[in-house]
Homo-oligomer: A and B are copies of this chain.
Amino acid sequence: MDLRHLKYFIAVAEELNIGRAALRLHISQPPLTRQIQQLEEELDVQLLIRTPRGVELTQAGEMFLEEARNIRSLVEQAIERTKRAGQGKLGRLDIGIFGTGILNTIPKLLQLFRDDHPDVRVVLHTMTKNEQIEALRQKRITVGFNRIMSPLPDITCELIMREPLFLAVHNSHPLSKNVSVSVKELSKHPLVLFPTGPRPNFVDRVLEICGHMGFIPEISQIVGDAVTGVALVAGGFGISVVPESVITFKPPGIVYLPFDDWLTGKVDLSCIYRKDDESPILKAFLIAVNKFREQHKG
């Protein structure tokens, strides 16, 4: 039995006349008769009662009609869903996240993606950079987010945006009276940096910037994440440097200041994915990334 038999039987059951059904199916009457006979033979069931006016359905025929319609609609649905999945419109997107990107940028980007792909279930997984790479390779995630990325042969790293850095100080600190500061100020105060975990990371980026300016800062603490770092600053434990994303998080007493020699003071946010990943969902996601860049350029 195949789907043709179902289609033919449904037509016959609806027309109650094999000749008319054949017309509707754009075939001639004899092959339709034979297909129905074949179906009856295969099922070992009489589906139709032949009358001189046409045919009528037996109880088994009624039952098979119902089932055939169910199958037909399930098949149509399967085709539809599969096509949509093939266009990246339906399915699941697993994303690895870590760090400050999640505070502002990533939600905006995901919003953009979900507007175009409401039926894709986006699942976020908090993991370190190395866990992301491992998860990408094992296909547990499709996309990761990172700031500092050494090049890898099998992973593509695509820049999403380049964010300026800000100084975080307590409002009791003398620097807090300025409207902007120089990177050189970092040499004069103990620094709270983040994150802990595998290097290189944002800590090294800050050290690199200081290096460009010709000094090595004094690090008072390295903490797990930006929120903890800012909380320490709010508690008077020194000053810190944060990407722009973080300034939406502003506990009492915290002041964020731009760097006036900020040209050097930037940090990237990138997304990473498997080089050999051709999946339509990833393609769709990268289109959203491009849109996001368009919106945030300049």
Question: Chain A: residues with CB nearer than 8 A to chain B?
Answer: 1-4, 43-47, 49, 58-60, 63-64, 67-68, 70-71, 74-75, 77-79, 81-83, 85-86, 90-92, 278-281
Q: In the bound complex, do residue B71 and residue A74 qualify as a contact, i.e. CB atoms below 8 Å apart?
A: yes
Instruction: State how many angstroms separate the Cβ of A11 from the closest Cβ of chain B.
Output: 16
Instruction: State how many angstroms separate the Cβ of A235 from the closest Cβ of chain B.
Output: 47
Partner of A82 from B45, B74, B78, B90 at Cβ < 8 Å: B45
Instruction: State how many angstroms separate the Cβ of A39 from the closest Cβ of chain B.
Output: 10
Instruction: Determine the residue in chain B with the shortest Cβ distance to A64.
Output: B82
B residues less than 8 Å from A58 (CB atoms): 86, 279
Q: In the bound complex, do residue A43 and residue B3 qualify as a contact, i.e. CB atoms below 8 Å apart?
A: no
B residues less than 8 Å from A83 (CB atoms): 43-45
| Secondary structure of the A contact surface, majority rule | helix
Instruction: Determine the residue in chain B with the shortest Cβ distance to A71.
Output: B74
Partner of A63 from B45, B75, B90 at Cβ < 8 Å: B90
Identify 9 new A-B residue pairs, CB closer than 8 A, beyond the known A43-B83, A43-B86: A1-B79, A59-B281, A60-B82, A60-B86, A67-B82, A68-B78, A71-B74, A71-B78, A74-B74
In the assembled complex, the Cα of A86 lies from the Cα of B39 at a distance in Å of 13
